[in-house]
Amino acid sequence: MSDTTLAPAPGGAERPRTRDLRLAVIGLGLRATLARQAHRPGEGSRVVAAVDTAPAMFPRAREWFGDDVRLYGGHRELLEAEELDAVFVITPDHTHEQLATELLRAGVAVFVEKPLAITTEGCDRVLEAAREGGARLYVGHNMRHMPVVRTMRELIQRGEIGEVKAVWCRHFVGHGGDFYFKDWHADRRNTTGLLLQKGAHDLDVIHWLAGAYTERVTALGGLTLYGDIADRSGQAPGTVMPDWYDPENNWPPLANTGLNPVVDVEDLSMVVMRLQGGVHASYQQCHYTPDYWRNYTVIGTEGRLENFGDHGESAEVRVWNRRSREGYRAEADLVVPMPSRGDEEGGHGGSDPLLVAEFLRFVSEGGATDTSPVAAREAVAAGVAATESLRDGGTPVTVSRLAPELARWFADGQG
């Protein structure tokens, strides 16, 4: 944790000055921009080291963090050489479990990009490592900081639609070909499946809005489009998605080329869930729609709400909670527009900077956070169960529960 030194103040008095948190980042791919936002030398935090197994990525670290950033090819070298307050783990999903457990057992606070792991058991091992090491664990579920999600939750909490009984989510993944089928995401060995990898966000939001975790699921889906594309040439080592992303020419989706050599994750999936307390939910995900956004509908005992757009100036949340005997009524009883801020303010509707700020505060001070390692585990558990059901023809699957004593340890603020 950060320590305190004394610095001269006007008039010769001394005042306390807290040194910058010493940070490292493992993985210099697309989401490593989170660590870039945490690099604030002289303002509380500094990235002093970076790790990547591909040396071709090192120039990014020097550009972002300065020529004096120390570079390593592996996390064990990092731990042996550096005294760190916290580490950002921004690596392919299947590596999260091992990296997080070793760092936490070494007593280093860890930010793990979602999903926490690609199996339920892997999540549980990470949570147990946090307890064993006494180190703070934080999971990067940035959608809990998105204005549209926070607005829906606030409306629910103040009783605008009564008691929540159902949550529906439709996720239109318009650039799925470029985003998820041209690199490691397309191989289920790295992700389990996109119901987990991509769906972890939405499953967590469904749980947060409903105030309950998933108990039982059934799912259907398949590889319905990208499996028909023969070009599996993949992408050059050391490149990241913006290097090959082509929003203008890859339409219709079958026009995509350069898919990952292994493509065995589903591009269309539909899940029905029973949550604790009798809440029901559904989640649909399609990776070849012409638009790219999420639509949540929440139905309560006294009304319903729905978002139109999920970030940007045009996004808003609409509430219908007055009795209407006519048919479709576009005019809502309450409309809440989203604030005018976008990706230029840090990504994902401005949620990424809020996520990073909460993590840094948590490392320094502890206390409550809007994200939750236990909730992150429950999103993975629901995604794993749904994937199992889908691949078994829709057989219902019961979601395994976290050990109560471990859940209590996190509920008590991680010690």
Most confident of 124-128, 233-237, 345-349: 124-128
Per the omega criterion (within 30 degrees of 0), is the bond before 41 cis?
Answer: no
Kindly state whether residues 167 and 115 are assigned to the same domain.
no
Average pLDDT over residues 185-190: 98
How many independent structural domains does the chain possess? 2
pLDDT tens-digit series, residues 98-124: 999 999 999 999 999 999 999 999 999
pLDDT tens-digit series, residues 371-380: 999 999 999 9
Kindly state whether residues 80 and 222 are assigned to the same domain.
no
Kindly state whether residues 203 and 239 are assigned to the same domain.
yes
Query: At residue 298, what is the residue type?
Result: V
Average pLDDT over residues 239-260: 93
In-domain check, residue 127: yes
pTM of the model: 0.93
Asked whether 113 and 347 are in contact (CB, 8 A), the reply is no
pLDDT at 106: 96
Across-strand partners of 5?
Answer: 17
CA distances from 211 to 30, 271, 308, 358 (A): 31, 19, 22, 21
In-domain check, residue 6: no
Question: Range of 196's domain?
Answer: 143-361+369-398
**pLDDT category, 13, cuts 50, 70, 90?**
very low
Kindly state whether residues 221 and 118 are assigned to the same domain.
no
Kindly state whether residues 245 and 373 are assigned to the same domain.
yes
In-domain check, residue 3: no
**pLDDT category, 346, cuts 50, 70, 90?**
low
Kindly state whether residues 305 and 290 are assigned to the same domain.
yes
In-domain check, residue 297: yes
Kindly state whether residues 173 and 105 are assigned to the same domain.
no
CATH code for the domain of 78? 3.40.50.720
**pLDDT category, 127, cuts 50, 70, 90?**
very high
In-domain check, residue 170: yes
Mean residue pLDDT of the chain comes to: 93
**pLDDT category, 247, cuts 50, 70, 90?**
confident
**pLDDT category, 1, cuts 50, 70, 90?**
very low
In-domain check, residue 210: yes
Kindly state whether residues 202 and 333 are assigned to the same domain.
yes
Kindly state whether residues 259 and 378 are assigned to the same domain.
yes
CATH code for the domain of 338? 3.30.360.10
Kindly state whether residues 188 and 307 are assigned to the same domain.
yes
pLDDT at 320: 96
pLDDT tens-digit series, residues 211-223: 999 999 999 999 9
Q: Is the pLDDT of residue 383 over 80?
A: yes
Query: At residue 136, what is the residue type?
Result: R
Q: Is the pLDDT of residue 335 over 50?
A: yes
- Please give the Cα distance from 410 to 414 (Å, whole number): 5
Average pLDDT over residues 11-27: 73
Q: Is the pLDDT of residue 327 over 60?
A: yes
Q: Are β-strands 268-275 and 280-286 bridged in parallel, bridged antiparallel, or unpaired?
A: antiparallel
Q: Is the pLDDT of residue 239 over 60?
A: yes
Kindly state whether residues 378 and 407 are assigned to the same domain.
no
Per the omega criterion (within 30 degrees of 0), is the bond before 261 cis?
Answer: no
> Residue 57 gets which letter from DSSP?
G
Kindly state whether residues 332 and 315 are assigned to the same domain.
yes
In-domain check, residue 1: no
pLDDT at 238: 79
Structure-token pair, residue 11: 């008039």
The candidate with the shortest Cα–Cα distance to 197, out of 173, 217, 169, is 173
**pLDDT category, 341, cuts 50, 70, 90?**
low
In-domain check, residue 55: yes
Q: Is the pLDDT of residue 15 over 60?
A: no
